[in-house]
Amino acid sequence: MTAPLTTTFTVDFGRKQTSRPGAEEGEFQSRLPRVTRLMALAIRFDKLLRDKTVRDYAHLARLGRVTRARMTQIMSLLNLDVRIQEELLFLEPVAKGRDPVILRDLLPVTIQPTWSKQRAMWRKLAKN
């Protein structure tokens, strides 16, 4: 009669948290701020409109399953000074907690027609 064979090993069913493919194990998961993602979407949607891939904001809203009002808010980011747009695209990833800037706070900046005034408003907003 042979002795029973016993194998022991550890199984970790926890989720591996990484911020990007190839990140070090145990590194906290981070995410891009929502306004960064919205800025990138606005740029992409603008290209789709210019290329006539989609007809209008209403068509984009239907495809994205959002209201036309929400689509207008997202697309209003294109009214920002290009330097502000660039800063939005390169905001630091958020590891935890709230985003540093939210769309609601940016909307008053988007309706300001003068870029120098936009930059002044942005500096105040980015400080907080």
Q: What is the pLDDT of residue 119?
A: 96
Quick check: is 65 in a domain?
Answer: yes
pTM of the predicted protein model? 0.76
Range of the domain at 59: 34-91+100-127
Q: Which residues contact 119 (CB under 8 A, 6 or more apart)?
A: 81, 83, 84
Bridge partners, 31 (sequence order) = 94
Quick check: is 80 in a domain?
Answer: yes
Number of domains composing the chain? 1
Q: What is the pLDDT of residue 14?
A: 61
Quick check: is 64 in a domain?
Answer: yes
Q: What is the pLDDT of residue 55?
A: 95
Quick check: is 79 in a domain?
Answer: yes
Q: Is 69 left (phi over 0), alpha (psi -120 to 50) or beta?
A: alpha
Tell me the mean pLDDT per 10 residues along the chain, length 128. Answer: 71 54 62 96 96 95 95 97 96 92 96 96 90
Kindly report the CA angle at 87 between 90 and 25, in degrees rounded to 5? 20
Q: What is the pLDDT of residue 128?
A: 73
